[in-house]
Amino acid sequence: MTSHPNWRGKKILITGGAGFLGSHLAEGLVAEGARVTVLDNFASGAIENLAHIADRLQLIQGDVLSINWAEVLQQHEIEFFFHLVGNAYVPASVENPAMDFTLNLKLAFDILESLRKIPWPGRFIFPSSAAVYGNPKRLPICEEDWTVPISPYGVSKLAVERYLSVYHDVYGLKTASLRLFSVYGPRQRKLAVYDLITKIMKNPQDVFVYGNGGQVRDFLFVKDAARAMMAVALNGKFTGEVYNTASGVECTILDLIQHISQILGVSPRVTFSGSVRPGEPEKWSVDMSRLTGLGFSPSYSLQTGLEETVAWVGSL
């Protein structure tokens, strides 16, 4: 594959680069000719996720809560810092908000303090979440809308966004955030798409699902999410701004079940709980114009992304 001139030779740091999204991002950047350093403690990531590109990147295994960030950044001459390590799940934050606070907000704050003190001239990219919106006041959601998170996870993500904006305005750090909606794909072993695929595979006759099936989501394939992060890294303003990051296509949970069932060639009877779990919003519809203005558009349809994900789950 021919590398992209905009990335060739660029020096990248990805925290959490052995995880779900991080490994796909590392894969995309390596393919474009970037010089990638991955920092991971393998608490949730897996070395197997990077095995196919291990000879084309540098790997640092260490505790992200005790890393000397200035030393890492200066030693590797990092130009782009993708900070992907942290808690990525709403239910985990509801069960253990102190963990979510430490891994999401405190860790990001400590990193920003290190960047401020160097001072570091590179670009800092943060994957925030649609969870910052809570139950939106209007649809489609745009970046200027009210942010009223309804989970500890949403609160921590929003707080990091605010710190990134302030650290740009006050200290001149170059920062940007992507508000990721429902990202799914190979290497993810949690959340709606993976859970539904495994449930239907295990029992093609009967499937039990939380909610009523009418919850609306926007599912973004992980390779497109990685491409969106790369687009922001190259073309964003880096003034502390945020970007809605989604596919632009609405899908109910019932529709998702039907798509997966069709790919698997089954017709299960679906039973719904009737109630939504704490911290989960009812409906999302997304205005992506700010991100598409940077030249990004998704490459994967829901059907294509689900087919690739089903094939991966089936190979486990």
Q: pLDDT tens digits for 223-240?
A: 999 999 999 999 999 999
Structural domain contains residue 175: yes
Instruction: Specify the amino acid at residue 157.
Output: K
Structural domain contains residue 68: yes
DSSP for 241-279 reads EEEEES-S--EEHHHHHHHHHHHHT---EEEE-SSPPTT
* CA dist., res. 308 & res. 316, Å (int): 13
CATH of the domain at 105: 3.40.50.720
pLDDT above 70 covers what percent of the chain? Answer: 98
Give the mean model confidence (pLDDT) for residues 180-190.
96
Which DSSP symbol is given to 133?
G
Which residues, in sequence order, are bridge partners of residue 283?
216
Does the structure show a pLDDT above 90 at 184? yes
Structural domain contains residue 5: no
Does the structure show a pLDDT above 90 at 52? yes
Please give the structure tokens belonging to residue 93: 């934050």
**Local confidence band at 179 (pLDDT 50, 70, 90 cut-offs):** very high
- Give the number of domains in the chain: 1
Boundaries of domain holding 152: 11-182+220-248+281-298
Structural domain contains residue 192: no
Q: Which residue has the higher pLDDT, 190 or 243?
A: 243
Structural domain contains residue 189: no
Structural domain contains residue 30: yes
What's the pLDDT tens digit per position in 279-312? 677 788 999 999 999 999 999 999 999 999 999 9
Peptide bond into 298 cis (omega under 30): no
pTM here? 0.95
**Local confidence band at 43 (pLDDT 50, 70, 90 cut-offs):** confident
Check if the beta carbon of residue 197 is closer than 8 Å to that of residue 263: no
Task: Report the chain's mean pLDDT, rounded to a whole number.
Answer: 94
Structural domain contains residue 1: no
Model pLDDT, residue 112: 98
Does the structure show a pLDDT above 90 at 277? no
Give the mean model confidence (pLDDT) for residues 76-97.
96
Does the structure show a pLDDT above 50 at 2? no
Give the mean model confidence (pLDDT) for residues 159-185.
98
Element (H or E) spanning 192, and its range?
helix 191-202
